[in-house]
Structure 1
Amino acid sequence: MTDANVHAAPRWWDAVKVIPASGWALLLGLGVAEGLVLLVCTALPLPYGPAGSVVELVIGGLVGAGYWWLALRLLNPGRPLAGPLRFPLLAVLLMLTDAQHLLLLALRADVLPERTLAFALVALPLMVYLMYVGLLVPMAVRVDGGGLGRALRLAHGSWWTVLHVLPLVLIGQVVAAGVQQLHLRAVADGPTGSSLLVVTAVGMLIGIAWHTLSTVLLHAAHRAAVHRLDPPRTPTDAPTGSAFGGPSQDVVAT
């Protein structure tokens, strides 16, 4: 890889700036739809124990795959993407990298060793690593037409990718914990039903706003990671479209 290729890599902030208000609105609407589907699914009478955890894992994988399938189409207008036959692969890989639900399943199935400090020191980095790889899975499958191997190549391809994607994992966990604490405090304070609904809605909107922003940042980080991993050698190798913006400026018009 030459220095020229490195310096020519797309800047991830540029991918945020070029998205018009209508694009953000579409992504936010997609996030709201995903949140409502998950909210409805939480009301289902799921069995308790490992069976319930498996159902939650499957629901999360399918809903998450649906979100990313549509979001990446919005972010790549006019660009050929993986076909519908790869949707099941995306859903399965999202389940396999869903560290939180996998841990909950293991806890309910009572297959983990005694939960000591040593166990926590091993489990926590593994969970973070799974979440890190999991964030790259949608682009690896839907945009690159690959699978888990492609996601691992992207994850290990550059320190730049680690430094830009790993913070999104950590910030996402902080946002999720904050929303959960907001909801728990509201329940502990004993608000009325309408007040609790307002608090729940605010927490959900905060989560959706972060989810939307992180989607765009991950997509931009993926484009830069691909540029570093497989630098384009000819104009025809460059991306055919920019997010919501028609043809990319680095593509020679024909």
Structure 2
Amino acid sequence: MTTSPNPSPAQQHGAPASARGPLRLVLLIVGLLIALTAIGGATLGGIFSFGVTTNHESLVHERFERIVVDIPMGSVTIREDARLEYPSVRIESENQGFFPGSSATTKTSNGVLQITAERPFPLAWTGGGENNITITLPTRSGDVLEQVRVDNEVGDIRIETHIDSVDVESRVGDVRVSALQSAATSSIRVATEIGSVSIEAVPGSYRILADSDFGKVSVSGLTNDPSEDRIIDVVSQIGDVSVRAER
């Protein structure tokens, strides 16, 4: 199901209607194989577990305007807390299985807070290298992050903060983005292969593109204006997509 003002180029030049049924079936099978691979890796990692779980939390004293998270496996949470004076980064690393991955590292440079972890080889069926990231930001009047970019293979993603731009790419996992009240919000882009997507945006007009091959699509409380510069572009191959105004 797709919600957009006009057919996309892919829709205009894509497969004929008679071929879409088999194409959707192929996409469903591929998606299920990806999910089984991820689940299988976690299962084998638990059976042959001889690694450790470590927790590390640190404060970030350098100023930054952008956040970049690039990890192969693990959840990502970005939130706010009015009690904090400085941003906090918590990393829970689980390294176990035959091919344990590396723990995530944090660095701040040129206004960018960057959290990365190497992708273990092979990623599938290893059960190792999972990093669960929690970034907590102080709630300050007038402060708006310029950009948050998250790229992971497996894991849920939750972003709830004052933000201008969000860019998320994931293969397996649910994604939830809540752009807190800020007139600066300009773009929200989310793409996942398997998982539901929920977007809460500042009320107003956007160019809205919402699509799911196998799932329900709903848009409410926002004005869809094809001429708007502000854009919400959300797609899930297998999973429901919800786009609504922040309550």
Q: Tell me, yes or no, whether TM beats 0.5.
A: no
TM-score scaled by length of structure 1: 0.27
TM-score scaled by length of structure 2: 0.27
Structure showing the higher strand proportion among its residues: 2
Structure showing the higher helix proportion among its residues: 1
Q: Which has the higher contact order (CA 8 A, sep 6+)?
A: 1
